[in-house]
């Protein structure tokens, strides 16, 4: 069998030029540049590395470098929840900044790409970066197809000899199944699949990668990771932030499109996948893809029964008053866009038949938390007088993705004393107690992986389409059918009541978000 060997990690990346489209945008300033700076500081980038920052309007390079430095200073080592934790390393920044070139051009004009081709050649000569290049598309999604075609038209995607050309495409990859397919078709006419790195920043999070390590590097979990031992699984991605300054994007998108086919399904497929044959990018992505393919298709009646949509109303977050979604700047006063979604899915395969997966994600909830909770089946029989089985503490293995990174196991224990009284206890593992590492944005891993050519943490064309295929029937039904009501929940609450009913119906309940 012809199996490619994953490239070695933790070594200096090979020389390359990184071309950032959308270099003047928020994402570059907030996430991408801090990640590149962290990589430079950790000496993971080659000395022969350069950046071409592509932006619409011309700017003196010094002013542009200073603009990026501001972003790096305020966001570096910053988890979304807290302030920067490390001093800014002026020397590392100065060295990186000296390798940044600014390039202005209209991304819809072919002349821009002809000029870019010249600049890329000059930059490669000046910084000895050779012929390797990563094109990072941190731009509005409508431009993805155009940029790839234009790069192809001037020969910038052509790989000569051992020189490679790769393209990182940010989210959102399409806004429904048809548009995702159309975009894949369009870019695959120019690029080969191994040249395409479709981004889902959740995969850059250490704790998300740890799901695979926990499952496949420990002997104790896999034997019980199935329908014989697991009652159900809950996946929660709760945010306290509201729509922020993104009303234009969010009004047309909503929580389902924004979070489910991508981030939530990454968590789902890593939790439910079969062990891959190796940690090779394609082996892992094939197993993840199979999970989404096995999700039981939802028809009209099931969607009405098994999905819940909500929108935040007025409320309070940590004691601070918070306005309703419909009062946010840029949002229509009668907007029907959902800011919360919960659903119950089934996975039709031997491992998971009969095990419901409950997923929920929403904005303006009580607390920011992302976790996967594996609820194991109850002990079959209670030996203990006066303690019925259903009063035993359920065994729950919770994988905490953010902001508290770790895992915990809940079980029953005897309360000390003459009586046999049982109480629920919890065993906790916290990343910060064991590993002395600074939290990262997650982009470090992904940028580094792209430069070393490891696509395991990126989406393949079939994976993206499989995610959209699962949610498409929901999008279709919600559009025309009002039988799944849009429930208003107070900002700062745990979400709409309908989400609780989704579990109560089968005698279960959500883990508290608070």
**Cβ proximity of 159 and 197 under 8 Å:** no
> Per-residue DSSP letters for 336-360?
---SEEEEEE-B-STTTTT--EEEE
Query: Closest approach of Cβ 133 to ligand BG6, in Å?
Result: 26
Cβ contacts of residue 479 below 8 Å, gap of 6+? none
Nearer to ligand BG6, 27 or 355 (CB): 27
Q: How many CA atoms lie within 13 A of 55 on its CB side?
A: 21
Residues in region 177-216 near ligand BG6 by CB under 6 A? 201
Nearer to ligand BG6, 317 or 422 (CB): 317
Alpha-carbon Rg for the chain in angstroms? 24
Query: Closest approach of Cβ 336 to ligand BG6, in Å?
Result: 18
Q: Which residues pair with 100 in a beta bridge?
A: 51
Query: Closest approach of Cβ 80 to ligand BG6, in Å?
Result: 5
Residue of the chain from 78, 258, 282, 449 that contacts ligand BG6 (CB under 6 A):
258
**Nearest-angstrom CA–CA distance, 246 and 433:** 36
Q: Are strands 340-345 and 357-362 parallel, antiparallel or unpaired?
A: antiparallel
What character string, x for contact with ligand BG6 (CB under 6 A) and - otherwise, covers 308-337? Answer: ------------------------------
How does DSSP classify residue 365? B
Nearer to ligand BG6, 141 or 387 (CB): 141
What character string, x for contact with ligand BG6 (CB under 6 A) and - otherwise, covers 276-315? Answer: ----------------------------------------
Q: How many residues bind ligand BG6 (CB under 6 A)?
A: 5
Query: Closest approach of Cβ 171 to ligand BG6, in Å?
Result: 5
Nearer to ligand BG6, 164 or 443 (CB): 443
For residue 395, give Cα distances in angstroms to 207, 231, 354. 21, 10, 18
Residue of the chain from 80, 84, 143, 214 that contacts ligand BG6 (CB under 6 A):
80
Q: What is the Cα 306 distance to its own chain's centre?
A: 24
How does DSSP classify residue 474? H
Q: Which residues pair with 412 in a beta bridge?
A: 424
Residues in region 233-252 near ligand BG6 by CB under 6 A? 239
Query: Closest approach of Cβ 340 to ligand BG6, in Å?
Result: 12
Nearer to ligand BG6, 12 or 368 (CB): 368
Residue 387: Cβ-neighbour burial (10 angstroms; 0-12, 13-18, 19+): middle
Nearer to ligand BG6, 263 or 344 (CB): 263
**Nearest-angstrom CA–CA distance, 263 and 170:** 13
Residue of the chain from 41, 171, 232, 360 that contacts ligand BG6 (CB under 6 A):
171
- Residue identified by tokens 């089946």 is 377
Nearer to ligand BG6, 230 or 398 (CB): 398
**Cβ proximity of 286 and 462 under 8 Å:** no
Nearer to ligand BG6, 201 or 232 (CB): 201
**Nearest-angstrom CA–CA distance, 356 and 344:** 6
Query: Closest approach of Cβ 201 to ligand BG6, in Å?
Result: 6
Q: Which of 96, 18, 20 is nearest to 55 (CA)?
A: 20
Query: Closest approach of Cβ 361 to ligand BG6, in Å?
Result: 9
Q: Which residues pair with 423 in a beta bridge?
A: 413
Catalytic residue chosen out of the listed positions 102, 127, 201, 263: 263
Residue number with the smallest Cβ distance to ligand BG6:
258
**Cβ proximity of 295 and 345 under 8 Å:** yes
Angle (CA) 94-98-99 rounded to 5° is 125
The two three-digit tokens of residue 508, written as one number = 């279960």
- The answer to whether 444 contacts ligand BG6 (rule: CB under 6 A) is no
Q: How many CA atoms lie within 13 A of 2 on its CB side?
A: 0
* Phi/psi of residue 321, nearest 5 degrees: -60, 140
Nearer to ligand BG6, 13 or 208 (CB): 208
Query: Closest approach of Cβ 365 to ligand BG6, in Å?
Result: 12
How does DSSP classify residue 459? B
Q: Which residues pair with 266 in a beta bridge?
A: none
Query: Closest approach of Cβ 244 to ligand BG6, in Å?
Result: 8
On the question of a cis peptide bond just before residue 337, with omega within 30 degrees of 0, the verdict is: no
Is 263 assigned a catalytic role?
yes
**Nearest-angstrom CA–CA distance, 43 and 469:** 41
Nearer to ligand BG6, 45 or 373 (CB): 373
Q: Are strands 486-490 and 396-402 parallel, antiparallel or unpaired?
A: unpaired
Cβ contacts of residue 435 below 8 Å, gap of 6+? none
**Cβ proximity of 461 and 59 under 8 Å:** no
Query: Closest approach of Cβ 267 to ligand BG6, in Å?
Result: 11
Residues with catalytic function: 263
Residues engaged in binding ligand BG6 (CB under 6 A) = 80, 171, 201, 239, 258
């Amino acid at each position: 069998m012809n199996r490619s060997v994953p490239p070695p990690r933790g070594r200096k990346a090979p020389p390359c030029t990184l071309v950032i489209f959308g270099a003047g945008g928020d994402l570059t300033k907030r996430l991408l540049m801090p990640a590149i700076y962290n990589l430079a500081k950790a000496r993971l980038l080659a000395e022969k590395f350069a950046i071409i920052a592509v932006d619409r309007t011309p700017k003196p390079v010094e002013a542009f470098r200073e603009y990026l430095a501001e972003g790096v200073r305020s966001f570096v080592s910053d988890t979304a929840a807290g302030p920067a934790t490390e001093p800014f390393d002026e020397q590392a920044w100065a060295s990186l900044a000296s390798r940044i070139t600014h390039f202005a051009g209209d991304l819809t004009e072919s002349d821009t790409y002809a000029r870019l081709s010249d600049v890329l050649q000059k930059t490669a000569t000046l910084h000895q970066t050779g012929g390797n290049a990563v094109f990072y598309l941190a731009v509005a999604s409508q431009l993805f197809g155009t940029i790839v075609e234009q790069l192809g038209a001037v020969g910038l995607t052509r790989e000569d000899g051992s020189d490679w050309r790769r393209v990182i495409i940010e989210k959102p990859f399409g806004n429904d199944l048809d548009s995702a397919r159309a975009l894949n078709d369009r870019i695959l006419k120019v690029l080969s699949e191994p040249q395409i790195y479709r981004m889902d920043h959740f995969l850059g999070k250490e704790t998300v990668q740890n799901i695979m390590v926990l499952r496949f590097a420990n002997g104790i979990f896999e034997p019980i990771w199935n329908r014989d031992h697991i009652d159900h699984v809950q996946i929660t991605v709760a945010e306290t932030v509201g729509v922020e300054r993104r009303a234009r994007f969010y009004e047309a998108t909503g929580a389902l499109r924004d979070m489910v086919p991508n981030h939530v399904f990454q968590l789902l497929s890593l939790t439910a996948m079969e062990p891959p044959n190796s940690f090779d990018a394609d082996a892992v992505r094939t197993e993840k893809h199979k999970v989404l393919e096995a999700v039981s298709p939802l028809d009209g009646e099931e969607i009405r029964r098994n999905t819940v949509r909500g929108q935040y109303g007025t409320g309070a977050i940590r004691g601070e008053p918070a306005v309703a979604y419909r009062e946010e700047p840029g949002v229509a006063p009668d907007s029907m866009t959902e800011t919360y979604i919960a659903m119950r899915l089934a996975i039709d395969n031997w491992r998971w038949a009969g095990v419901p997966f409950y997923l929920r994600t929403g904005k303006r909830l009580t607390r920011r938390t992302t976790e996967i909770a594996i609820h194991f089946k109850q002990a079959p029989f209670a030996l203990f007088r006066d303690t019925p089985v259903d009063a035993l503490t359920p065994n729950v293995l919770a994988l905490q993705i953010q902001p508290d990174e770790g895992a915990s196991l809940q079980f029953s224990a005897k309360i000390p004393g003459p009586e046999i009284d049982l109480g629920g206890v919890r065993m906790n593992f916290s990343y910060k107690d064991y590993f002395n590492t600074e939290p990262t944005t997650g982009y470090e891993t992904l940028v580094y992986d792209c430069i070393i050519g490891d696509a395991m943490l990126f989406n393949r064309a079939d994976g993206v389409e499989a995610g959209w295929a699962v949610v498409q029937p929901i999008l279709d039904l919600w559009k025309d059918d009002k039988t799944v009501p849009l429930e208003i929940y107070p900002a700062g609450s745990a979400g709409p009541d309908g989400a609780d009913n989704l579990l109560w119906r089968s005698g279960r309940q959500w883990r508290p978000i608070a």
